[in-house]
């Protein structure tokens, strides 16, 4: 039987699932992960005029800069390819063109050096990202909130994920981005809405709180997004009106996520009654929203959970989280074949997605 590799291990991670070309070099030893170097090439300017990410533009931009981004990360880390023990890359879910660029780069490096290739689920990278900044023991309750995903997941260990609830339509990040586009606030939408909301009244507009009147942990944000559109069409969009819409929209998101998180915490506590400490983790790009972080921090204190989140620079897509997930897999003897295919959809809890998909089936498989 093949033995698991020993520590320390140095892994190069590549992330290209959406509109950021990111590479990082991470060393994992007995004291934990150490990010030696990381570089992110943003595509904001390429997509700004469209108010959102254009897949074809994203794929071409990744292809243009991926090699140089890897070189820059290696240079910043002060290591050579010979010192890398494995090459990890996001293999899904995401925009398939971009995912393929990162995967092919990592596969080429693995083939050229004779080192292992590790295909990483992008969502697993987010799920483990808080451990980049501090030790967080398993199990923990994860709220994954990003541009394409909004889920409650019980994280029991590497590769062991149990979905508790999910959005049945739009993700929170998508709702932020579409709201920003509707209001003409620019791209990326999340930070733009949050900034505009600072000057508004969160009680000015009674936006709906979808599914709060129903039991369970599933969520919905499509109707809220439509409510914002109708409100914007019904009034003159002065600076004050924009601020009130953003503040009221953000408050509705907060209220839904806080109440659903409260229910998820109760379910998690029952499932892990033997644990002396209950841990809550928020990850994903929307996890950088300060209003949401503050509300969930207060909820953790109320429910007796410790609060954990990655540092802000590792909330959004990054290479460090992919390198870390790859390093954990490598030390556990898990590596991928070079024939591994990119997956536009790749649920963390594949059993739940197959037996009870929340939405999005078809040829690509269940999204969540």
Average pLDDT, the chain: 93
Cβ atoms 133, 310 nearer than 8 A: yes
Q: How many residues does the chain have?
A: 368
- For CA atoms 192, 63, 323, 349, the dihedral sign is positive
- The number of C-alpha atoms within 13 Å of 203 and in the hemisphere containing its C-beta is 0
Q: Which residues contact 217 (CB under 8 A, 6 or more apart)?
A: 152, 164, 165, 166, 260, 263, 264, 267
- In this prediction, residue 2 carries a pLDDT of 47
pLDDT band at 5 (very low <50, low <70, confident <90, very high): low
**pLDDT value at residue 364:** 45
pLDDT tens sequence across 302-336: 999 999 999 999 999 999 999 999 999 999 999 99
Where residue 358 falls (left for φ over 0; alpha for ψ -120 to 50; beta otherwise) is alpha
Task: Classify residue 31 as left (phi > 0), alpha (psi -120 to 50) or beta.
Answer: alpha
Tell me the mean pLDDT in the region 220-240.
96
What would the mean pLDDT of 229-236 be, rounded to a whole number?
96
> Domain residues of the chain, as ranges?
9-129+314-355, 139-309
Q: How confident is the model at residue 193 (pLDDT cuts 50, 70, 90)?
A: very high
Q: How confident is the model at residue 359 (pLDDT cuts 50, 70, 90)?
A: low
Task: Kindly report, residue by residue over 114-135, the tens digit of the pLDDT.
Answer: 999 999 999 999 999 999 999 9
Instruction: Assess contact for 321 and 284: CB atoms under 8 A.
Output: no
Q: Which of 17-21, 121-125, 267-271, 358-362 has the lowest mean pLDDT?
A: 358-362
- Residue (of 208, 248, 245, 242) closest to 224 by Cα position: 208
Residue 363 confidence (pLDDT) above 60: no
Q: What is the architecture of the domain spanning 139-309?
A: 2-Layer Sandwich (3.30)
* Confidence class for position 357, pLDDT limits 50, 70, 90: confident
Which of 73, 77, 82 has the alpha carbon at shortest distance from 14? 73
| CA separation for the pair 308, 299 (Å, rounded) | 12
**pLDDT over 60 (residue 351):** yes
10 SS3 class: strand
Confidence at residue 366, expressed as pLDDT on a 0 to 100 scale? 44
CATH for 9-129+314-355 is 3.30.420.40
Please report the pLDDT score of residue 76 as a whole number: 98
Q: How far apart are CA 327 and CA 277, in angstroms?
A: 27
**Closest residue by Cα to residue 89 from 115, 113, 107:** 107
Residue 356 has pLDDT above 60, yes or no: yes
């Amino acid at each position: 039987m093949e033995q698991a590799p020993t520590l320390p291990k140095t892994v190069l991670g590549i992330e290209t699932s959406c509109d950021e070309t990111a590479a990082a070099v991470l060393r994992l030893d007995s004291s934990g992960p150490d990010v030696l170097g990381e570089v992110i090439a943003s595509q904001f300017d390429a997509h700004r005029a469209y108010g959102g990410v254009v897949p074809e533009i994203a794929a071409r931009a990744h292809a243009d800069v991926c090699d140089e981004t890897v070189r820059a990360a290696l240079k910043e880390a002060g290591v050579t390819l010979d010192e890398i023990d494995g090459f990890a890359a996001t293999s899904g879910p995401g925009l398939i063109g971009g995912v393929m660029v990162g995967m092919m780069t990592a596969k080429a490096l693995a083939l050229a050096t004779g080192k292992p290739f590790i295909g990483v689920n992008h969502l697993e990278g987010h799920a483990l990202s808080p451990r980049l900044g501090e030790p967080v023991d398993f199990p923990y309750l994860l709220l994954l909130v990003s541009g394409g995903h909004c889920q409650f997941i019980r994280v029991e260990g590497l590769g062991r994920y149990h979905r508790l609830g999910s959005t049945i339509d739009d993700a929170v990040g998508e709702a932020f981005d579409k709201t920003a586009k509707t209001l003409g606030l620019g791209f990326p939408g999340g930070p733009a809405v949050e900034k505009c909301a600072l000057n508004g009244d969160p009680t000015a507009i009674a936006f709906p709180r979808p599914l709060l009147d129903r039991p369970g942990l599933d969520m919905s944000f499509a109707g809220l997004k439509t409510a914002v559109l109708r409100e914007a069409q019904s009034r003159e969009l002065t600076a004050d009106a924009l601020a009130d819409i953003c503040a009221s929209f953000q408050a509705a998101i907060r209220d839904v996520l806080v109440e659903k998180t409260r229910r998820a915490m109760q379910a998690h506590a029952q499932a892990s009654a033997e644990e002396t400490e209950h841990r809550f983790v928020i990850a994903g790009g929307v996890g950088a929203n300060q209003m949401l972080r503050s509300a969930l921090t207060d909820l953790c204190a109320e429910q007796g959970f410790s609060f954990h989140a990655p540092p802000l620079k590792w909330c959004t897509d990054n290479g460090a989280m992919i390198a870390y997930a790859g390093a954990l897999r490598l030390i556990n003897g898990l590596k991928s074949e070079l024939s591994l295919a990119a997956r536009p959809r790749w649920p963390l809890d594949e059993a739940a997605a197959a037996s009870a998909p929340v939405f999005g089936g078809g040829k690509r498989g269940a999204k969540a």
